[in-house]
Amino acid sequence: MNLPPPPPEMDDAEFLRWWGRWEPLTPSTVGAFMAGFDRPWWVVGGWSVEVFTGVRREHEDLDISMLTCDAPAFRDFLGDRWTPFVVSAAGLRPYRVGGPDVDREGQLWVRRDAGAPWVLDVPLTPDTDGCWTNKRWHDHVAPVEDVTWVGDDGVPYLRPEVTIMMKARLDRPKDRADLEACWPLLGSAEQEWVRDTIALAHPGHPWLERL
Question: pTM of the full predicted structure?
Answer: 0.90
Does residue 173 lie in a domain region?
no
Does residue 86 lie in a domain region?
yes
Range of the domain at 129: 12-159
Does residue 170 lie in a domain region?
no
Question: Domains in the chain: how many in total?
Answer: 1
Cα–Cα distance, 117 to 210 (Å, whole number): 40
Query: pLDDT of the chain along its 211 residues, tens only?
Result: 344 445 456 677 887 787 888 999 999 999 999 999 999 999 999 999 999 999 999 998 899 999 999 999 999 999 999 999 999 877 789 998 877 778 888 999 999 999 999 999 999 999 999 999 999 999 999 999 999 999 999 999 999 999 999 999 999 999 999 999 999 999 999 999 999 999 999 999 999 998 8
The CATH number linked to 147 is 3.30.460
**Pairing relation of β-strands 148-150 and 156-158?**
antiparallel
Does residue 185 lie in a domain region?
no
Picking from 88, 90, 89, 86, the residue whose alpha carbon sits closest to that of residue 110 is 86
Please tell me the predicted confidence (pLDDT) of residue 9. 62
HSE value, Cβ hemisphere, 13 Å, CA-based, for 88: 14
Does residue 34 lie in a domain region?
yes
If residue 65 lies in a helix (H) or strand (E), which one and from where to where? strand 63-65
Does residue 125 lie in a domain region?
yes
Does residue 165 lie in a domain region?
no
Does residue 174 lie in a domain region?
no
